[in-house]
Structure 1
């Protein structure tokens, strides 16, 4: 019997279990995937803790990303077939489908054939990071040539994806990180500049870099006290896309900056893109093109074995990673 990752109560990484289950059978428009690699995301950490936009239905499946081989397809599935190498776009709720396990069931609309040159690890890492960044930067903010974009939590997988997408479309990515420890790594991975938020005045540095104009876009998964630094660093009619809440502190609203600069503050989540068929298709085309040309390349930070799923989640909580954490399944 295959094993899947579940939790029977909310809590820390130790709540995760590997449960034996029956091999799933695909219904109409469903695909069964034999997993080779799983991608970990902050959303899963929050879901496990009971702090996500969805309340988990216990015992709860978990996981948005998997790469592997199609084992079976249901009725009306024509774009993939048994034996295909595929990966999964996060386009469903985890109460409905969980991608972390040895053999998993996925909705057909979320299953794609990825470029052949990608490893299993890279394929499992690609979709959450690149579509999250694409949706905020391209679909919503229309980032393009000449734009300066501020990227807090830049060493996360989505932050690194945002740097690559900015470069791909001719924008200038400015990475924000708490200290200078990751400065060279961020520059090596495409950041035009790096600002250590605990060491420098963010607004002053951004205005220096932009000749006094400020940045047009900030792509923020953090919130908290640093939010005021972002509004101060933006140009007139700038936009902040808020796609996470990593900071535990209250997020202030700097009203005078918002009013005086005519700023837009926009809450954003990936599912705006992936649950809309037309927008999902556009996002998929953009990302596949970038993966094909090499303009977009998933960066894997660390790998764990499935038996070490608890340790993998503990590592995610430590914030040590630079890129994506991958869990390998099988040999």
Structure 2
């Protein structure tokens, strides 16, 4: 089969299209003929710095995939040949990723693809959906009627976080960095849009909440934005970040406001071999598929590339300020 191999850590040119053996499913696995693979920031970071398993090189990266079940293991009961599926699995340097024509995955970790969306939209969805779900619902304990501020609402994680927060019955404010993204996030359901290039987002959040601060702030940017966000959160409120806080972070405001700080990394179950949590991720995707098929949740794909142009897709993602997601289309 054709696959894009990461031949070494480095610039996008280390991604090379090559022929590799087609995998075979184990007893509880399904063999998926991939039709699309999502591109995520973790892919570019692994390519730049090296994978979590440096002794297993070259590697096929790419956590997100969608395709058609071509074969099933002897113990598989959840899927049949011909089923359309989507999932977040592999791609960290251990289990094979999804920049390829075929992959295998344990049946517990996959979900049936929403029937109403394309393979490209399905492949763009899993990592960002699971990340936003865990950040808002599990880490942030979001409640109906609560006010939440989501940073970078037009981005991959941000644009689904807005929708998941609205599905929970929350009031949503979001930051964007350019005026051309305002209408996009409003269409997703944002109640308040803050252009952070023109407006102090902390003051805007305080004005929106009558000086109290939001109950939950979801940080998808990191860096200085994380600590700058502390005064925008109400006393005893929550802040969840998907980035590692900087070593120089000054925590005084967070401590004085008694904030609950949570870290979100949806890759933890894969890295730790936590099968039950990975199965929970599959259940999240099942619920999100239902919402997508009811038209209550949408995935925005901004760019599509053929598998052979994986390097170009990485270059685009690294250029910054993306709206929605980038996807590789796999023609097989």
Q: What corresponds to 1:284 in structure 2?
A: 285
Paired position in structure 2 for 1:140: 139
1:23-44 Cα offsets, whole Å, 9 max, x none, are 2111222221111111111111
Q: Which residue of 2 aligns with 1:312?
A: 313
Segments of structure 1 that go 5 or more residues without pairing to the other structure are none
| Greater relative contact order structure (CA < 8 Å, 6+ sep) | 2
Contact 1:91 1:271 in 2 (8 A): no
Matched, 1:263 2:262: no
1:85-104 matched pairs, under 5 angstroms: 85-90=84-89, 93-104=92-103
Contact 2:30-2:72 within 8 A present in 1 as well: yes
The Cα shift of 1:137 comes to 0.4
1:87-134 superposed Cα distances (whole Å, 9 cap, x missing partner): 123478441121111122223222221221221111112211211100
SS of the aligned residue for 1:32 comes to strand
1:48 corresponds to? 47
**Cα distance between partner residues in 1 of 2:48 and 2:53:** 9
Gaps of 5+ in 2: none
Structure 1 residues 123-165: Cα deviation after superposition (integer angstroms, max 9, x where no partner): 1122112111001101221212221212112221110010000
Alignment match, 2:120: 121
Instruction: Give 1:159-308 correspondences, 5 Å limit.
Output: 159-244=158-243, 250=246, 252-272=248-268, 275=274, 276=277, 279-280=280-281, 282-308=283-309
CA RMSD of aligned residues (A): 2.2
Asked if 1 retains the 8 angstrom alpha-carbon contact of 2:111 and 2:286, the reply is no
Q: Take 1:165 and 1:261, find their aligned partners in 2: how far apart are those partners?
A: 27
* DSSP 3-state at the match of 2:125: helix
Distance across 2 between alignment mates of 1:7 and 1:72: 27
* Partner-residue secondary structure (3-state), 2:66: strand
The count of corresponding residues between Structure 1 and Structure 2 is 326
SS of structure 1 residue aligned to 2:65: strand
2:72/2:80 contact within 8 Å kept: yes
Q: Supply the distance in 1 between the matched residues of 2:309 and 2:228 (Cα, whole angstroms).
A: 39
- TM-score w.r.t. the length of structure 1 is 0.91
SS at match of 1:61: coil
Structure 1 residue 3 displacement after superposition: 0.8
For the 8 Å contact 1:37–1:124, the answer to whether it is kept is yes
Contact 1:4 1:21 in 2 (8 A): yes
Over 3 Å counting, the alpha-carbon distance change for 1:327 and 1:278 in structure 2 is closer
Q: CA deviation at 1:324?
A: 1.1
Report the counterpart of residue 26 of structure 1 in structure 2.
25
